Amino acid sequence: MIAMGNECMKCGQDFDLEFHHTVPRQWTAAKYASQRRQVIYERDYIAGELELLCSSCNKTAGKPTDDDTPF
């Protein structure tokens, strides 16, 4: 299981938390069963492609673009 902390990485809120991809993902969550999604999210976390954000900050962050890809 992913251990990322228990608060938003931007504002510190500790509820309504969501994963935010920092680079465009190549998969759609709805197409996978929950156990398979967990494996994929863990892979993305290990690759440094996830942030834990509250719902509000996640909406503000928007969808990642190729220009947001870290070098």
Per-domain boundaries in the chain: 17-65
Residue 31 gets the label, from left (phi > 0), alpha (psi -120 to 50) or beta, of: alpha
* pTM, full prediction: 0.68
Instruction: Encode the chain (71 residues) as per-residue pLDDT tens digits.
Output: 455 678 999 999 999 998 898 888 888 888 999 999 889 888 998 999 988 899 999 999 887 765 444 43
- Measured CA to CA, the distance from residue 6 to residue 21 in angstroms comes to 17
Q: Are 68 and 22 in contact (CB under 8 A)?
A: yes
